[in-house]
Amino acid sequence: MSEPKKLFIKTYGCQMNVYDSERMAEALGGQGYVETKSPDDADMILLNTCHIREKAAEKVYSELGRFKGLKADKPDLKIGVAGCVAQAEGEEIMRRQPLVDLVVGPQSYHRLPEMEAKTRTGEKALDTDFPEEDKFEKLKNRPKAKRGPTAFLTVQEGCDKFCAFCVVPYTRGAEVSRPAGRIIREAQDLVERGVREITLLGQNVNAYHGAGPNGDMTLAGLIWELNKVDGLERIRFTTSHPNDMDDALIEAHGTCEKLMPYLHLPVQSGSDKILKRMNRSHTADSYLRLIERIREARPDILMSGDFIVGFPEETEEDFQATLDLVEEVKYGYAYSFKYSTRPGTPAAERPQVDADVADERLQRLQAMITRHQREIQDSMVGQTVNVLFEKPGRQAGQMVGKSEYLHAVHVSDPGLASGDLRKVRVVTSGANSLGGELV
């Protein structure tokens, strides 16, 4: 048998890209590729790119430029660009950087094997269509390799919300949900391979409405089906939109035992004026009332969010409203970003906030978020949590895993192994993790 070819994938951006990279590696596994951790010995390099913020495309071009030497030494080396920059730039990538052999958008990964074969004949391969078929179904020919205890599973892609700052509706396309039966089968398969916790992924995951046995199923319906999968212990999902939190999903947080008490629910701003200009179609107040209802269903739920500061026309007063909202919600985790112009989105045309002002606001917001995060993490000391152990910690004999609230927890115990789900009493709260002992 010939030497396997080597594939190097570099993944940028969100968890959906992490999932997609795994699927691409599996698809190319069928073409005789094995993964390598270094671009230097690769026969194919794939950049799985992200376009959500900052100068994403420019970063990709400069990264590609660095492969010039490699390609000169090894003319057979194939270089591909996948992900949202591929979708947004398309053919332009090959024009600007002739090193590139292959450009594939997020909806076309199932065509990678044919595209790779085409590059082997010396041709370029480009596919940034939005086909109707389920790309993941076509990507299934994978070896039944053992997996770690946690996995992502994409259930929905794309977005119809068109927030005024966001490229996702353009790069990932319209909302599409995968049929429930396929998701359940994929979950069962993951469990057979050692997975105990699944995070359901979608750009707008709670808008999920995939075909089920009796018509369309909602995300809550899907979660209840997954709750029945033997051997699966934990279910999470991300990312949600406030307007798609239906009653059944809120209720599931109180009643579905495998659904973890953690919810990422971005609000972006606390100012109704800015929310309106962002085309978010909810208000600060409707968001706060929603959180109240979620906390009624599950009082200990840990909230997480996303924020944009310095959105066009954001005044100090608007920003103050964001701080007020954060103070009220108290997030266990929150991600905040300075607004960054995405060409082609409506907000790109509007009067921009001064960069220094935005920087200063970002610092104030992050200081508040960090304070809350600390307080919440520290308040875990003395409590008993459930930890799904994932991997060895830095110290000998130590294992690290995640609590139901997604805090990292370290425990030193010689009997612990990856995949163990154990009760732990928290005794210390460190910089980014908790320490505890088995109960």
User: Which residue bears the tokens 């969010």?
Assistant: 305
**Residues 104 and 112 sit within 8 Å (Cβ to Cβ):** yes
d(CA 98, CA 271): 46
* Cα gap 201→26, rounded to integer Å: 19
Nearest to residue 284, comparing CAs of 299, 269, 296, 266?
269
Residue 64 neighbours by CB under 8 Å, 6+ apart? 47, 79, 81, 97, 99, 100
Residue 306 as a binder of ligand 5AD (CB under 6 A): the answer is yes
Figure out which of the listed residues 279, 340, 383, 433 binds ligand 5AD, where binding follows CB under 6 A.
Answer: 340
- Asked if residue 337 binds ligand 5AD (CB under 6 A), the reply is yes
Q: Are 250 and 293 in contact (CB under 8 A)?
A: yes
Site string for ligand SF4, 194-223 (x = CB under 6 A): ---------xx-------------------
Residue 342 found at the interface with ligand 5AD (CB under 6 A): yes
In the complex with ligand SF4, the residue whose CB is nearer, 226 or 325, is: 325
CB 229 within 8 A of CB 184: yes
Judged by CB under 6 A, does residue 387 bind ligand 5AD?
A: no
Choose the stretch contacting ligand SF4; rule: CB under 6 A; options: 4-12, 120-128, 156-164, 216-224: 156-164
Measuring CA to CA, which residue among 181, 162, 184 is closest to residue 172?
Answer: 162
Exposure of 30 by Cβ count < 10 A (0-12 exposed, 13-18 middle, 19+ buried)? middle
Q: Is 78 among the residues that bind ligand SF4 (CB under 6 A)?
A: no
Q: Beta strands 262-264 and 302-309: pairing type? A: parallel
Residue whose CB is less far from ligand 5AD, 111 or 342: 342
What is the nearest approach in angstroms of ligand SF4 to the Cβ of residue 417? 38
Judged by CB under 6 A, which stretch of 164-172, 254-262, 377-385, 391-399 contacts ligand SF4?
164-172
Q: State the binding string over 222-241 for ligand SF4 (x if CB under 6 A, else -).
A: -------------------x
307-330 in b/e form (b: 16+ CB < 10 A) is: bbbbbbebeeebbebbeebbeebb
Q: Does 166 bind ligand SF4 (CB under 6 A)?
A: yes
H-only helix segments in 66-203: 68-73, 83-89, 92-96, 112-120, 135-138, 168-171, 180-192
Of the candidate residues 29, 221, 261, 266, the single one contacting ligand 5AD (CB under 6 A): 266
Choose the one of ligand SF4, ligand 5AD, none that binds residue 232, judging by a C-beta under 5 to 8 angstroms depending on kind. none
Residue 48 beta carbon to ligand SF4: minimum distance, rounded to whole angstroms = 18
Minimum distance, C-beta of residue 387 to ligand SF4, in the bound complex (Å): 31
106 near ligand SF4, rule: CB under 6 A = no
Footprint on this chain of ligand SF4 (rule: CB under 6 A): 159, 161-163, 166, 168-169, 203-204, 241
